[in-house]
Amino acid sequence: MKVSELKEGMLLRFKEPRLYKFMYDSAGGHWFDCGPFDEQTRVQGTIGQPLMVYLGQEKMKAPSHYGGFWNVRKVSVEGRVAWVFPDAWKSMEAV
């Protein structure tokens, strides 16, 4: 999915089950970290296709601890608001 196609309130999910977890950022927010499911490299996290609500874009006051991003996009997942890493959008689709 292209980030430019996102509209606030869109429902999203992974195209196929993926490993995901939440990471805390020293800037005061949470990141939604997701990667391909591989039983051999599985560490902490959950495997699945959770529903996500796209909440929009936000400009951070300082570059993020994870990757130095200034403009981040937010989703609501499992009752948490979290920022999404830019490379994650290619594994998501609109519902």
pLDDT tens digits, one per residue of 24-50: 876 667 888 887 666 665 567 888 899
pLDDT for 8:
95
Rounded CA gap, 72 and 60, in Å? 7
Rounded CA gap, 79 and 36, in Å? 22
Residue type, 57: Q
What is the spatial order of strands in the sheet that 18-24 belongs to? Answer: 46-48, 18-24, 30-36, 80-84, 71-77, 52-59, 11-14, 92-94
pLDDT for 23:
86
pLDDT for 65:
64
User: At residue 60, does pLDDT exceed 90?
Assistant: no
Residue-number span of the structural domain to which 61 is assigned: 3-94
Q: How far is CA 3 from CA 28, 41, 42, 43, 57, in A?
A: 24, 28, 27, 28, 10
Domain count along the chain = 1
User: At residue 7, does pLDDT exceed 70?
Assistant: yes
User: At residue 88, does pLDDT exceed 80?
Assistant: yes
User: At residue 10, does pLDDT exceed 90?
Assistant: yes
Cα-based angle 25, 7, 76 (whole degrees, multiple of 5):
35
Mean predicted confidence (pLDDT) in 56-63: 80
